[in-house]
């Protein structure tokens, strides 16, 4: 059974969001990493790039397939997890901690209200 | 409605994740594609490949029918030998690549790809009629489970279950053999580039215990059941063709790196077209590309040289053995020179790659990788 953490927010497209003041840390859920299988490549965005909620944020590839990861909130990408460039498998091993993808400086906190809570996410997986 | 292998319930019990392939719901992986891939390269893995087809070709002139319809001269292939070959249309394009097993006099088992059973069966029967050949093709795909046991420890594993001395079964030999007490067709063949054997098992209800017995026999070598995910990466590292990727839409054997398999000394359907193509020489050629930059090429990616399109990727993946992106691509003539640098366009961005000689993973990989 895939782990769903209570202290995170989720999207229907299987990203998770952790809010730290005005920063949203974004990754993919345990369910998503398990569905994708062995992750072997991550194409990260440039730091400083502005994204809108729902935009393609980055690409995660498993041996078998290519998956787009979408921005759960709008804002500026302030940090990307460069460790993943050499060790993308960390996403499989630690999707909620070491496998985080990017940090976004949140533009509009109201957008966070439309995200799912843990209970809501559990219902869709 | 997707077809399933008779072993579907067993795969489910073993924790398989399933995928759709050519109309079949088959295991994609049991634990992890990478792990399964390396298991086959390093020790031994067991595949259910029942999605592949089984067609009997029988009759007084069975050999003649196979010679006419494939690029192989079937008279060369003695009893208890098998051969990899291709069936062509009149225009030289590949209908399917197959292995045929010369089981005994006037009896051949042809193994077409998944979902190709009816196409190949009717093609063979039509040609038998058209050329007045006394032979018949019969689709028996539903009656067979096909198991593949592959990897350096495959012989040691399988030897425990049969009284046939497997050291005497040469590469591409085939014969009836008792395995786990059941009469199977055993062949020294595979699709992984490793030492390996394949079993044609009928009736299908005995396959389950053979499958479990092989897993048990291979325990000391850490055998694993292997899904289609690793089957694809294993074959691609060895540059074996995949129906639907390398000859989707009809490439010829000259284009598809199969010149070595064409036996020019006999007449076959498509031969004239191939001779003409060979003379003209102006055709795309399947070419092996290894990425220099990071990135994973995929089916359909365009290939460029100096900004000009020169071809398209037919299969691509991340090689679990090399940890690099690898691809087979149809490139225009003149771009096959080893070491030539090209760009594979992945999501709009050029990723640098170079032409390499097949296969991507050489025979001595395990030795060099262990040290």
State chain A's mean pLDDT as an integer: 95
Burial of B265 (0-12, 13-18, 19+ CB in 10 A): exposed
pLDDT digits (tens, 9 = 90+) for A7-30: 999 999 999 999 999 999 999 999
CB-based contact A38 B28, cutoff 8 Å: no
Question: Could you give the number of structural domains in chain A?
Answer: 1
Task: Kindly list the distances between the CA atom of residue A103 and the CA atoms of A31, A87, A100, B183, B342, in Å, as whole numbers in the listed order.
Answer: 21, 18, 8, 61, 35
The predicted model gives A72-97 an average pLDDT of 97
What is the full DSSP assignment across chain A? -----TT-EE-TTSEEEEEETTEEEEEE-HHHHHHH-SEEEEEPPPTT-EE-TTSEEEEEEESS-EEEEE-SS-EEEEEE-THHHH-TTHHHH-TTTTT--EEEEES-GGGGGGSB-HHHHHHH-
Say if CB B137 and CB B69 are below 8 A apart: no
Q: Going edge to edge, which strands form the sheet with B45-48?
A: B174-179, B182-187, B196-201, B145-150, B45-48, B224-226
Which of A1, A38, A39 best tests the B interface by mutation, with the highest count of B CBs <10 A?
A: A38
Q: Is A32's pLDDT higher than 70?
A: yes
Nearest to B301 by CA among B293, B292, B310: B310
DSSP state of B359: P
A56 touches chain B (CB under 8 A): no
Q: Is A61's pLDDT higher than 90?
A: yes
- pLDDT for residue B138: 98
Looking at the structure, tell me whether residues B136 and B149 fall in a common domain: no
CATH of residue A100's domain is 2.40.50.100
Looking at the structure, tell me whether residues B148 and B232 fall in a common domain: yes
Task: Kindly list the distances between the CA atom of residue B182 and the CA atoms of B5, B48, B371, in Å, as whole numbers in the listed order.
Answer: 19, 17, 40
Which domain, by its residues, includes B133? 55-142
DSSP three-state, residue B291:
strand
CA closest to B231 among chain A residues: A64
CA distance B207 to A122: 39
Tally of residues, chain A:
125
- pLDDT for residue B209: 98
CB-based contact A61 B347, cutoff 8 Å: no
- How many CB pairs lie under 8 A apart between chains A and B? 39
Say if CB A44 and CB A51 are below 8 A apart: no
**Residue B279 is assigned to a structural domain of this protein:** no
**Residue B9 is assigned to a structural domain of this protein:** yes
Say if CB B207 and CB B11 are below 8 A apart: no
CB-based contact B296 A43, cutoff 8 Å: no
Could you tell me the maximum CA-CA distance found in chain B, to the nearest angstrom?
61
- pLDDT for residue A64: 85
CB-based contact A63 B34, cutoff 8 Å: yes
A124 touches chain B (CB under 8 A): no
How much of chain A, in percent, has pLDDT values that exceed 90?
94
The predicted model gives A83-91 an average pLDDT of 95
Q: Is A123's pLDDT higher than 80?
A: yes
**Residue A117 is assigned to a structural domain of this protein:** no
CB-based contact B34 A64, cutoff 8 Å: no
**Residue B85 is assigned to a structural domain of this protein:** yes
Structural tokens at position B351: 């990723």
Which of A40, A61, A63, A65 best tests the B interface by mutation, with the highest count of B CBs <10 A?
A: A63
Nearest to B237 by CA among B354, B324, B123, B352: B324
- pLDDT for residue A77: 98
What is the full DSSP assignment across B217-231? HTGGGT-EEE-HHHH
CA distance B371 to B367: 7
Instruction: Look at residues B237, B261, B293 and tell me which one is the last residue of a structural domain.
Output: B237
Looking at the structure, tell me whether residues B79 and B24 fall in a common domain: no
Instruction: Look at residues B92, B107, B142 and tell me which one is the last residue of a structural domain.
Output: B142
- pLDDT for residue B370: 66
CB contacts of B295 in chain A (<8 Å) are: 41, 43
- pLDDT for residue B250: 83
CA distance B40 to B221: 11
CATH of residue B219's domain is 3.30.1360.120
**Residue B265 is assigned to a structural domain of this protein:** no
Looking at the structure, tell me whether residues B34 and B149 fall in a common domain: yes
Looking at the structure, tell me whether residues B187 and B310 fall in a common domain: no
What is the full DSSP assignment across B24-50? EEEEEESS-HHHHHHHHHHS-EEEE-T
CB-based contact A85 B294, cutoff 8 Å: yes
CATH of residue B96's domain is 3.30.70.1400
The ipTM (two decimal places) reads 0.83
Looking at the structure, tell me whether residues B201 and B309 fall in a common domain: no
CA closest to B37 among chain A residues: A63
Question: Could you give the number of structural domains in chain B?
Answer: 3
CA closest to B36 among chain A residues: A38
Looking at the structure, tell me whether residues B185 and B228 fall in a common domain: yes
**Residue B148 is assigned to a structural domain of this protein:** yes
Mean pLDDT in consecutive groups of 10 residues from the start of chain B, 371 residues = 96 96 96 96 98 98 98 98 98 98 97 97 98 98 98 98 97 98 98 98 97 98 98 98 89 97 98 98 97 96 98 97 97 98 97 98 88 48
User: How sure is the predictor about A70, in pLDDT bands with cuts at 50, 70 and 90?
Assistant: very high
């Amino acid at each position: 059974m895939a782990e769903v953490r209570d202290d995170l927010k989720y999207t229907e497209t299987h990203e998770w969001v952790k809010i730290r003041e005005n920063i949203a840390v974004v990754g993919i859920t345990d369910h998503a990493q398990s569905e994708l299988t062995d992750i072997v490549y991550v194409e990260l965005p440039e730091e400083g790039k502005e994204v809108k909620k729902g935009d393609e944020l980055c690409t995660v590839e498993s041996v078998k397939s290519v998956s787009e990861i979408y921005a759960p909130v709008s804002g500026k990408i302030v940090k990307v997890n460069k460790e993943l460039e050499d060790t993308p498998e960390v996403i499989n091993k630690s999707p909620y901690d070491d496998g985080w993808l990017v940090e976004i400086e949140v533009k509009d906190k109201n957008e966070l209200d439309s995200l799912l809570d843990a209970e809501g996410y559990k219902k869709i997986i | 409605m997707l077809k399933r292998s008779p072993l579907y319930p067993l795969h489910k019990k073993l924790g398989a994740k399933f995928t759709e392939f050519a109309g079949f719901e088959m295991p994609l992986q049991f634990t992890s594609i990478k792990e399964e891939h390396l298991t086959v390269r390093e020790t031994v893995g067991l595949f259910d490949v029942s999605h592949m087809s089984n067609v009997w070709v029988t009759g007084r002139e069975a050999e003649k029918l196979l010679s006419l319809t494939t690029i192989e001269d079937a008279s060369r292939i003695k009893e208890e030998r098998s051969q990899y070959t291709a069936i062509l249309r009149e225009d030289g394009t590949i209908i399917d690549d197959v292995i045929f097993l010369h089981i005994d006099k006037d009896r051949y088992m042809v193994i077409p790809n998944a979902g190709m059973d009816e196409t190949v069966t009717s093609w063979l029967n039509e040609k038998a009629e058209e050329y007045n050949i006394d032979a018949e093709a019969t689709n028996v795909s539903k009656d067979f489970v096909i198991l593949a046991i592959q990897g350096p420890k495959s012989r040691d594993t399988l030897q425990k279950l049969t009284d046939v001395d497997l050291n005497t079964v040469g590469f591409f030999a085939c014969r009836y053999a008792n395995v786990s007490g059941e009469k199977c067709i055993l062949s020294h063949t595979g699709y992984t580039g490793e030492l390996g054997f394949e079993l044609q098992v009928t009736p299908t209800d005995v396959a389950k215990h053979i499958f479990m017995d092989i897993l048990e026999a291979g325990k000391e070598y850490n055998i694993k059941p292997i899904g289609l995910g690793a089957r694809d990466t294993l074959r691609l590292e060895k540059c074996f063709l995949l129906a639907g990727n390398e000859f989707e839409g009809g490439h010829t054997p000259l284009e598809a790196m199969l010149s070595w398999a064409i036996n020019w000394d006999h007449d076959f359907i498509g031969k004239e077209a191939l001779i003409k193509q060979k003379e003209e020489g102006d055709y795309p050629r399947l070419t092996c590309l290894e990425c220099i930059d990071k990135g994973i090429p995929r089916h359909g990616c365009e290939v460029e040289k100096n900004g000009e399109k020169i071809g398209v990727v037919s299969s691509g993946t991340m090689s679990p053995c090399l940890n690099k992106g690898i691809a087979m691509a149809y490139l225009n003539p003149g771009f096959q020179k080893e070491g030539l640098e090209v760009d594979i366009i992945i999501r709009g961005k050029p990723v640098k790659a170079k032409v390499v000689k097949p296969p991507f993973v050489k025979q001595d990989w395990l030795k060099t990788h262990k040290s």
